[in-house]
A and B are shown apart, each in its own frame.
Chain A
Amino acid sequence: MKQNLIKRSLKTAGLGLASALILTGCATTAVEPSQSAAPSPSEDITSQTATLAFIGPEAPEVFQPVIDGFTELYPNITINYEQIPFDQLATTIEQRIGSGDSSIDIYTVDQPWLAQYAAKGYLEDISYFASEAEAAMPAAMYEVNFYDDKMWALSVWNSTQMMFYNKDMLDSAGVEYPSSNPEERWTWEEIDAASKKVVDSGSAEFGFLLEQVVAYYQFQAIAESAGGGSGITGDDMLSLDLANAGWTKALNWYQDSFKNGLQPTGVGGFDTGPMFSDKKLAFFVGGPWDVGIFGANDVNWGVAPHPYFQGGEAATPTGSWSWGMNPASLNKAAAAEFLKYAAINPDGNLKTTEALTVIPANQAAAAKYLPGLESDPRSAGVADIMLYEIQNTARTRPSTVGYVQFESLLSVALEDIRNGADIDSRIKALMASIDDAWELFR
Chain B
Amino acid sequence: MARGFGLMIYWRSGLKKKELYWALLVFLAPAVLALILMRIIPAAQALIESLFKTNVFSGEKTFIGLENYFSLFANPDFQNTLFVTIVFALLVNPIQVFSALLLALLFVRKFPFSRFLRSLIIFPVAVPPAVSAVMWSAIYRPDGLANSILEALGLAPQGFILDQRQALMSIIVMLSWIGVGYWMLFLIAGLNDIPDEIYEAARIDGAGYLRQTVSVTMPLLIRPLSFVLVATTISNFLVFAPVLILTRGGPVGSTSLLMYDIFVRAYSFGDVGRANAGVFILVLLMITAVSLQFFLLRKGNQQ
Query: Could you list which residues of chain A lie within 8 angstroms of chain B, going by C-beta atoms?
Result: 1-2, 5, 9, 16-17, 20-21, 24, 28, 30-33, 90-91, 94-95, 98, 119-121, 264-267, 401, 404-405, 408, 411-412, 415-416, 419, 421, 426, 429, 432-433, 436-437, 439-441
Instruction: Please give me the residue from chain B that is nearest to A16 by CB atom.
Output: B33
Contacts of A429 in B (CB 8 A): 76-77
Q: Is B110 an interface residue (CB 8 A)?
A: no
Contact assessment for B17 and A2 in the assembled complex, using a CB-CB cutoff below 8 Å:
yes
Name the prevailing secondary structure of the A interface residues: helix
Contact assessment for B162 and A266 in the assembled complex, using a CB-CB cutoff below 8 Å:
yes
Contacts of A33 in B (CB 8 A): 57
B241 nearest CB across to chain A (Å): 12
Instruction: Please give me the residue from chain A that is nearest to B16 by CB atom.
Output: A1
Contacts A266-B141, A404-B268, A419-B159 given: A17-B36 contact, CB under 8 Å?
A: yes
Contacts of B25 in A (CB 8 A): 9
Contact assessment for B159 and A90 in the assembled complex, using a CB-CB cutoff below 8 Å:
no
New A-B pairs, 6, CB < 8 Å, besides A2-B21, A20-B37: A94-B270, A266-B143, A404-B270, A412-B249, A419-B164, A440-B56
Q: Is B194 an interface residue (CB 8 A)?
A: no
Contacts A20-B36, A120-B270, A433-B77 given: A441-B56 contact, CB under 8 Å?
A: yes
Contact assessment for B18 and A2 in the assembled complex, using a CB-CB cutoff below 8 Å:
yes
Instruction: Please give me the residue from chain B that is nearest to A441 by CB atom.
Output: B56
B 246-265 binary contact with A (CB < 8 Å = 1; else 0): 00111110000000000110
A409 nearest CB across to chain B (Å): 9
Contact assessment for A437 and B269 in the assembled complex, using a CB-CB cutoff below 8 Å:
yes
Contact assessment for A119 and B143 in the assembled complex, using a CB-CB cutoff below 8 Å:
no
B146 nearest CB across to chain A (Å): 11
Contacts of A121 in B (CB 8 A): 57, 59
Contacts A24-B45, A405-B269 given: A1-B142 contact, CB under 8 Å?
A: no
Interface size class of B (residues with CB under 8 A): 35 or more
B140 nearest CB across to chain A (Å): 8
Tell me the bound Cα distance from A33 to B271 in angstroms.
18
Contacts of B22 in A (CB 8 A): 5
Contacts of A404 in B (CB 8 A): 268-270
Contact assessment for B251 and A440 in the assembled complex, using a CB-CB cutoff below 8 Å:
no
Tell me the bound Cα distance from A264 to B248 in angstroms.
19
Contact assessment for B250 and A412 in the assembled complex, using a CB-CB cutoff below 8 Å:
yes
Contacts A265-B162, A267-B141 given: A21-B41 contact, CB under 8 Å?
A: yes
Tell me the bound Cα distance from A405 to B270 in angstroms.
9
Contacts of B61 in A (CB 8 A): 30
